[in-house]
Structures are given as structure tokens and as C-alpha cells.
Structure 1
Amino acid sequence: MKTHQAKLTILSLLSDGQFYSGEYLGEKLGVSRAAVSKHIKGIQDWGVDVFRVQGKGYQLAQPIQLLNEDLIRQHVSNPIAIHPIIDSTNQYLLERAGEIESGTVCLAEYQSKGRGRRGRQWNSPFGSNLYFSMYWKLEAGMAAAMGLSLVVGIAVIDALKALGVNDVKLKWPNDLYYQDKKLAGILVEVSGQAGDAAHLIIGMGMNLFMRKEEISIEQPWTTLSQVLGEQMIDRNELAVALIRSWNETLKGYEEKGIAGFVDSWNEVDNFINRPVKLLMGERIIRGIERGIDAHGAVLLETEEGIRSFVGGEISLRSDEKQDDY
């Protein structure tokens, strides 16, 4: 953290989107203009657009709303850790699972090693999105964790609705969609031993202000700023809404299991009653998607009747046109 403090101070000063001279920034940091220029280069390596205009100074391409730990703590009771720079919010909690309080939340401005499902890298430029993980101790054990990513998806939609964001859908098993484009992804990692409580790390990356060149996912995508248009996105308010919704939904999951959320899932299933294909390694299964069952398995109506499929290496895709994403 200490090595990044100068860069973080510059970002805080530039966050309002106004011009600031190298001389002014240097005075604030107690360093030379050459040192400021070096720090600006480091900031750009984090995926932040910083422009320099002769006679005016430095300016961000767009203002950045930084996460405010004190503000978030005022509205939730969960233990909160906000890291400007981190390898992965999920990894941070994984290394502490079992030693921290259930409900502990980790947020970050930038992830150097953000990851998605099946080990894919999740591109995580500074301040552009929401990188958010929660630790949850599930006393019912590892077997009871099946279908958890589905329930978390429902909780995210509930949080977005509370903020006036409607028409977001879910793609089995772990993505949020808006108009057939990916908005966010969920990653649940489970550890524990048979007969003991399960330690769950639930992570989510949501696209807020991502530009095309920053997106690493190989499929149609969107951002919350595109969904809302001119409406401003308050990242801290979004974080609070998500934490509250996850708390409530995970407590409900402990009582009811996935079976208590089947109807809620099917109401927001992006592909329900639409042609889809399931990719299972080299095998492709086509059918009409019919929602999920009481175990969280996706249901496909095929020529052989309705069949259920669980997670693992299965990947669901639309089959309404020829696509390879």
C-alpha cells in the first residue's frame, strides 16, 4: 500500500475530472514534476486514462467516484475491507476463511489478478467497475452450497431494482444479463471438509464504466452506465445495496435452500423458453430452456424429453443464431 500512496493521492486529487498542473500535484506530494510524471505513468498502467494538456496540466478522461469505506460502514454492519490495489478480492478472503466473521466483505478499486469462472481472467481497471466479494460460513456444509451462485444472482437483481435498475436478467449459472449482453459475473468458491461447515467466498465483478478496449470477456457485454444512460451511478450506494441484499438472501438460503428460490429464478431467467445449447467439452446439447429445478439444475426440453443438467464444465449459450462466443 505504501508504494502506491503517491499514485492514490494523485488519483484522489484528479477524481473530480478537473485539470491540475504537475507543479500543483508535486507540491501536494512533496515531489518533483518529473516524479509526478512517473506516477502518472503508473496510474495509466492501472487502466486509467490520464491526459496531459500543455499549459493546463493533467486531467482524467472521466471523473472517478472512489469507494468510501467510512460511508459504506455507516449503512451496513458487516466487517468491511476496502483495498485500492489487490490481487483478487476472492483470494483475499480465501486466505482468511474460517478466521474472519461470516459476512466479511472485501472491495477493491483495482485487481491485478481478478478471475472469473473456470480460471478465466477478469479484467479489472482502476475505479471502472465494482469488484466485490463476501465470506459466508454455511453451517449446513458443502453439499448445501449447490446452487448458491443462482441465489446470489437473484440477490444482485433485487439490489439493482432497489436502485431503480430494472430488466436485468440471469443466465444460468452465474451471469447477469441486460438485453442479451453480459453485465456482471459471479464466482463462488467453496472450501471445507465433509461433516463440517462450508466456507464460501462469493465474488462478483460488475461492469460500470468499462470501455470496449478494456473488456476481456469473449461475448456481447454491456455496462451499468450504458443501461442507465445519463443517470449517475453511485458506486458506494450500489455496494451498500448489494451487501444488504446478499445478507438477506443468504440467510434465506440457509433456511430454505435453493428450492425456495426456483420461482424467483425462473421469473428473471434470460433464456427461459428460448432455444439454447449446452457446451459440455466437445459435446453440444440443444433444446428449449425451461428454467431450473429444485436442485438448481438447468432444464432443457430436448427430443428425448426434459432433461436436467448441473454445473461443472457445462456452459449455456443462446442457440437462436449461429454464435461462437
Structure 2
Amino acid sequence: MKLNATQQHILTLLAKGQCVSGHVLGQSLQMSRTAIWKHIKQLSALGVPIQSKPKQGYYLSTPIHLLSDSAINAYLAKMIDNYRLHLYSSVDSTNTFLKHLPFYAGLDICLAEQQTSGRGRLGKQWVSPFGQNIYLSLRLNVECSLARLSALSLVVSLSICSCLEDAQVSGLKIKWPNDIIWQDKKLCGNLIELLGEAHGQTQLIIGIGLNVHMLSPELASNSWCTLQDITGHLWDRNALAARLTM
């Protein structure tokens, strides 16, 4: 699912951090306040943290800066050829989405603002609130024995740690087999899925879930941490997603 142009415009106005009245939103979009209210309800149903104040309007209870395909492509185009970017507001799971795509010889990249059925290792739920973290999956085709890919989860974790350390994130540790932790709290996980023959072409899907902000207290717990917890500042998720892909 993707946000329509009206919903994107509403979020852009609300992202400025001020309370915006239905009248102002309606004037900007040339539609009635009732129509605006319907779009607000749809956004709320997606998990967008929109609140209302009587006689004042709507505001975001936590800041959101949406992922942008143009911004991500601007980063990727400098480093990668032959790829497709699939960016959605909501999917059940980025790994599952890529599983059902037709064959493509290059790299498929799926990013979502939200996962409704995000999952980690052993089918465990991966908490995936809207617009706060990185939910990223990569699909590529490899020709090698599946046995040679047995340690891939560890390799992916090492690569993610290297990427984050380059961005001045320190104190990270790897918890076997697929978690990255900071002070005994989970920051990131990866899920590797292999589809294909034992000795032939294999479809490799690498799923990465990275907690960036996770500002909703009802969704977080003492066993989780975020990049914001570690560094004390907000992150550009577009640049971060591109770095993880490269």
C-alpha cells in the first residue's frame, strides 16, 4: 500500500511540528474539512500518530519524516547499478513482498514505513510502527551451494555493525545468530531466507529490521533500544537505508 498524494501532502504540512486546522488543510488541498477528516482517519488507521486538539486542528504526537524514493535513489545511483526500489507505506512483511515478485536479474530492494506482520527468526513478531524505523529487504540471485551460505546471518550482522560504526555508533555487539545489541538491548536483527535448489541458482532474501526512533512507548520495551537512544539525535532514514543497502 502507498500513501496517495493527498495523504502525503497532509503529512508534509503536519511534519513542520505545528497544529494545523482542518480549514487550513482544506484550503491547501482545495477540499472540504469532512474530506480532510476522512484522510486523517485513514492515516490514523495505518498507525500514523496524528492527534487532534478541539478548535485548533491536527498535529503529530511524534515527528515523522517519510522515506522518499527520490532521496534514496539519489544515494543509491552513485554506488549501485541494476536495481529496483520498491517503497511502500505498508506491507505485511518486506521479505514476503519480495518472495512474490517475478524474477529479476538485478537487486530488488523493498522498504516500508510499516509492517503489519513483521517477523524475525523462528517466526517471532518484529514490532514495526509507522515511520519510525528501517524495515528493509534485499533480494538477489546467487549461484552456489546452500551450505556455503550457512554463516550468512553473521556476515550480514558484521556488515551492519560496520555501517553503523562508520556513522559514529559505538558499543555494538553481535548476539548469535542474528541480533545486534547495545548494552544488552536489541537494536537490530536480520532474517535470511533462501529459495532454490541445493546445488544451483538460489534466491537470497536478506531482511533487516533496525530500530531508529521507536518513539511510541506502548510499542517499545526494556529489551529494545534505538539509534536515537544511543546517539541522542534523530536520524535521516533515507540516508541510513541507502547505506545499509550498499
Same fold (TM over 0.5): yes
Q: Tell me the C-alpha RMSD between the 2 structures.
A: 2.0
Amino acid at match of 1:222: C
Deviation string 1:178-225 (CA, Å, 9 cap, x unpaired) is 10000111111110012212111100111122133113x7x7111111
Show structure 2 runs of 5+ residues with no match.
none
Aligned to 1:74: 74
Shift of 1:38: 2.9
Report the 3-state secondary structure (helix = DSSP H, G, I; strand = E; otherwise coil) of the residue aligned with 1:104: strand
Q: Do residues 201 (structure 1) and 201 (structure 2) align?
A: no
Partner Cα separation in structure 1 for residue 92 and residue 5 of structure 2 = 17
Residues 1-325 of structure 1 correspond to what in structure 2 (within 5 A)?
A: 1=1, 4-76=4-76, 77=80, 78-96=83-101, 99-210=103-214, 211-215=216-220, 220-229=223-232, 231-244=233-246
Counterpart AA for 2:241: A
Whether the aligned pair in 1 keeps the contact of 2:68 and 2:238 (CA below 8 Å) is: yes
d(CA) in 1 for partners of 2:36, 2:154? 46
Shift in Å at residue 58 of structure 1?
0.9
Say which SS state the counterpart of residue 189 (structure 1) adopts.
strand
Q: After superposition, what is the alpha-carbon deviation per residue over 1:55-98, rounded to whole angstroms, capped at 9, x for unaligned?
A: 4311111321111211221222243221122222111111126x
Tell which has more relative contact order, 1 or 2 (C-alpha 8 A, sep 6+).
Answer: 2
Q: Distance in 1 between matches of 2:176 and 2:108?
A: 26
Partner residue in 2 for 1:312:
none
Structure 1 residue runs without a partner (length 5+): 245-325
Q: Pick closer, same or farther for the CA change 1:29–1:142 going to 2, 3 Å.
A: farther
Residues 152/123 of structure 1: CA separation in 2 closer, same or farther (3 Å cut): same
**Residue type at the aligned position of 1:226:** D
Q: Shift of residue 15 of structure 1?
A: 2.0
Question: Do the aligned partners of 2:3 and 2:89 also contact (CA within 8 Å) in 1?
Answer: no
Find runs of 4+ consecutive structure 1 residues off by over 6 angstroms: none
Q: CA deviation at 1:159?
A: 0.8
1:205-257 Cα deviation digits (max 9, x unpaired): 11122133113x7x71111111111x23111111121111xxxxxxxxxxxxx
Retained in 2: the 8 A contact 1:20–1:56?
yes
Q: TM-score, normalised by structure 2?
A: 0.89
Q: How many residues align?
A: 240
Residues 1:46 and 1:238: Cα distance change in structure 2 (over 3 Å): same
Question: Is the contact between residue 142 and residue 191 of structure 1 (CA under 8 Å) also seen in structure 2?
Answer: no
Distance in 2 separating the partners of 1:87 and 1:27: 35
Matches of 1:107 and 1:101, distance apart in 2: 19
Contact 2:110 2:137 in 1 (8 A): yes
For the pair shown, which has the larger CA radius of gyration, 1 or 2? 1
Counting aligned pairs with the same residue, the percent is 40
